[in-house]
């Protein structure tokens, strides 16, 4: 249930969709497996098995985007294309030209697609109209953009904007490392990455090891900034903050697991209890993190 990564966006304060409204919109683009000739297909699926497309608990929504891609390596396509081109060369007496090679490659691809394996990737989205968050379980901007594009097709206009803070994460993390102290409610963990702003992007990584303060000072004096920093919030959630404000490697700590007794619950109750706990804790983490970065930057409308 718990998201592993957080790509965070702001929702308009006046956007208060009902579960029925979200369900109707998502249903217009529900996932349908691609046919034999489709390389890719995309659509919305229930976040919980046999559930609704818009799963709701306490005013929070969980939705999930499924992407199907055919596994057809370029090396296989090229191999069959070359073999087919040799056959055609023998038939017509001369090598195929560029245009004919493109046509051969397209024909080969079409013939191989029905035999290709499908791989599926589900990406979950947490919609929090109460605190105005939209959070995608994605560690890269490209995957998050993919989900936003799919949402924009069913919710028009999509009341969404990027999250900006008064202090950049890189500048803040660099200050915390120099001071060897994180803001209130946070503690610095062992994984750290420092990167130069020069063209060579020289990078120093500390894995399961805390850098010495003297070493940090030398790296920063040489022009490096902290681009990734492992942190723990309130002894409850550990994570890695990146320079682009994507939060990675989310992990609830033992204090949360100990406080949640699910033995007497059935599967549906456990799912909802887990979702309730996750959304409440992550909302607290996001609010505290924004405050630690100087508050939210107000952009011109």
pLDDT value at position 33? 85
State yes or no: pLDDT of 245 exceeds 80.
yes
Summarised one tens digit per residue, pLDDT across range 285-295 is: 999 999 999 99
Query: Percentage of residues in the chain with pLDDT exceeding 90?
Result: 66
Every domain of the chain and the residues it spans: 6-71+115-162, 74-114, 169-293
pLDDT band at 145 (very low <50, low <70, confident <90, very high): very high
- List of residues 6+ apart from 41 with CB closer than 8 A: 31, 32, 33, 34, 67, 68
Both tokens assigned to 268: 């549906």
Summarised one tens digit per residue, pLDDT across range 7-30 is: 999 999 999 999 999 999 999 999
Q: How far is CA 22 from the centre of its chain?
A: 21
Distances in whole angstroms, Cα of residue 279 to Cα of each of 8, 59, 131, 136: 13, 10, 10, 12
**Residue recorded with tokens 């691809």:** 109
Q: Taking Cα atoms as reference points, which of 119, 121, 146, 124 lies closest to residue 134?
A: 124
Q: What is the CA radius of gyration of the chain?
A: 24
DSSP β-ladder status, 237-242 and 224-233? antiparallel
pLDDT value at position 262? 59
State yes or no: pLDDT of 137 exceeds 70.
yes
State yes or no: pLDDT of 39 exceeds 80.
no
State yes or no: pLDDT of 301 exceeds 60.
no
Q: Can you list the pairs that 186-189 forms with residues at least 24 positions away whose Cβ atoms lie under 8 Å? A: 186/231, 186/232, 186/233, 186/234, 186/288, 186/292, 187/231, 187/232, 187/235, 188/229, 188/230, 188/231, 189/230, 189/231, 189/232, 189/238
Query: Percentage of residues in the chain with pLDDT exceeding 70?
Result: 95
């Amino acid at each position: 249930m718990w998201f592993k990564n957080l790509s965070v966006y702001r929702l308009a304060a006046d956007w208060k969709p009902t579960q029925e409204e979200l369900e109707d919109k998502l249903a217009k683009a529900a996932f349908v497996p691609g046919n034999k000739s489709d390389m890719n297909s995309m659509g919305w699926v229930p976040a919980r098995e046999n559930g609704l497309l818009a799963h709701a608990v306490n005013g929070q929504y969980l939705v999930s985007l499924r992407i199907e891609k055919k596994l057809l390596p370029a090396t296989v396509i090229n191999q069959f294309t070359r073999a087919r081109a040799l056959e055609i060369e023998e038939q017509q007496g001369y090598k195929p030209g560029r245009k004919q090679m493109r046509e051969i490659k397209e024909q080969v691809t079409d013939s191989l697609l029905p035999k290709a394996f499908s791989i599926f990737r589900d990406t979950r989205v947490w919609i929090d109209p109460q605190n105005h968050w939209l959070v995608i379980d994605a560690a890269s901007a490209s995957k998050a953009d993919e989900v936003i594009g799919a949402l924009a097709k069913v919710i028009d206009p999509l009341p969404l904007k990027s999250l900006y803070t008064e202090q950049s994460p890189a500048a803040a993390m660099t200050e915390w490392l120099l001071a060897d102290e994180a803001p209130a409610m946070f503690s610095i963990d062992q994984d750290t990455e420092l990167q130069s702003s020069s063209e060579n992007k020289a990078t120093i990584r500390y894995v399961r090891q805390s850098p010495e303060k003297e070493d940090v000072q030398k790296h920063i004096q040489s022009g490096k900034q902290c681009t990734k920093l492992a942190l723990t919030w309130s002894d409850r959630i550990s994570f890695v903050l990146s320079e682009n404000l994507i939060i990675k490697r989310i992990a609830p700590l033992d204090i949360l697991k100990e406080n949640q007794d699910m033995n007497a619950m059935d599967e549906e109750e456990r799912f909802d209890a887990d979702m309730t706990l996750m959304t409440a804790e992550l909302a607290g983490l996001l609010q505290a993190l924004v405050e630690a970065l100087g508050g939210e930057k107000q952009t011109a409308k």
